[in-house]
Structure 1
Amino acid sequence: MLKGLPAAFTLFLLAVPVALSAASAQQDAPHIHVALMTEVTQVKPDTPFWALIYFSPDPHWHTYWKNPGDSGLAPKLNWQLPPGWQAGEPLFQTPTAIPYGSDINYGYEGDSGLLVKLTPPKSLPETALTLGLDARWLVCADACIQGKGQFTLDLPPTPTHIQPAVKERFQQTRQNVPTPVQQSGHYQVTDHRVEITLPALDITDPNLQVFVAPNHIAATQPLPSIIKRADRLHISAHRHPYFHQAPAVIEVVVRGTRQSWTWNALRQSGQTTPR
């Protein structure tokens, strides 16, 4: 899995389009099926709606989170939208830790999705709308295959029927997106460690996992320590060996047994960034 990539060589292959509908565009690629879909029955001016890019890898294959861990690549999305449209940053589901030899990667074994908020302009034509997406991904098992696909979504100006399978995939994806915590935490980077403090809410789950984005901030191993004191979570992780600079904000996802949460952690004011 890219560090490079695993010991086996990597291929780069195009997805093959399959059946299209008004609400979804689907493509088959080596060891994965990828679909773009929306849940709206009609696009309305200046009214945001959600699109879903859904990855269904073969058994024992996996895809990656925004920070892929020790190796791998996160999906990349390049939208081709009509003038005046806007696409938000994708919302990732909570990842899992995927061991591979001595590495630990972050991603998804099984189906996963990316939610993207699309906002149309204040005026729309009365004709059908065409949305385009150039998507790139990496799917891995003992080997890795880079894939890409060009998706075209045609949305008619009149109401359409949304298939139950589309609604089910949106529901499954939303259930696995971490709950955002409005109150931010803070963090600092020392010569050897990343120290994070988060508002803990009422978290009582003793089995917690931590994921930090972007990559090259916190090392995947040894696993970070997590201590709850009063209303705060204190997370201490080893600094990543490729650490270069501390960004103003990092994302911290904490995964529990049945629920997960995500915080923005702000770089501690006045910190001199180690290099």
Structure 2
Amino acid sequence: MAELSPNAPVSESGLTVRGLRLAFGDTVVQHDLSFHVAPANIFVIMGVSGCGKSTLLRHIIDLQRSDAGDICFDGQRLISDDPGERAALQRRIGVLFQSTALWSSMTVGENVALPMQLHTRLRPAEIHDQVAFKLALVGLAGQESRMPSELSGGMQKRAGLARAIALDPDYLFLDEPSAGLDPITSQRLDALIMRLRDALGLSVIAVSHELPSIFTIADDSIYLDNQSKTAIAHGNPRDLVEQARDARVRAFLKREPIEEPARDPA
């Protein structure tokens, strides 16, 4: 199970989120979030639209700061006063954004090379070899010279994945990776994500509300509730579909409508 007591000691391995509170001013998005992501597991953050899934992801990758709580990678706190420590930790994180965020004016090869050019001392020939290797890993061998606009939606996702793993991260974050893809392409992307996890030993944290993908890739998960504004279920979604205590979780996983409580007549 993923549930973690806010007072539990921080694990020395994996990602630990403890007592996290997400808010914009006086508007609370989620509160009291505590969970653990085991190494080399695929962990899914799920819930209905607008519950705060992508907001949580942005906090974990340090694009936004939480009001309260801790985020630790292998026992090291994400929030550090040492710029060097913070930068080193960020280099251990790869991100595939929902829109892929590929630079449209750069070729696929240039997109994948950019993180290595900015954050390593590799020579151009070494970067060239690494770009070819990363593209081959995602099934895009030989596509270095193509522009993102020349790629299908599924190929753009793969190119985004290649860039996300350019620096050999320990943690890979995916924001709605299957969004906008047809079922067959989505299924192939799910298979690729699992192969990368196995081949590279990645810890994968994915935001998704796509049930086929959730049931296929997730080793563990957390369900964010948009009513109580906290997590109301933790565990493997294949178990939660029948065993979750809250009916909203079971209804979400079974694609069933939730009946609203009856209101007293005025």
More strand by share: 1
When normalised by structure 2's length, the TM-score is 0.29
More helix by share: 2
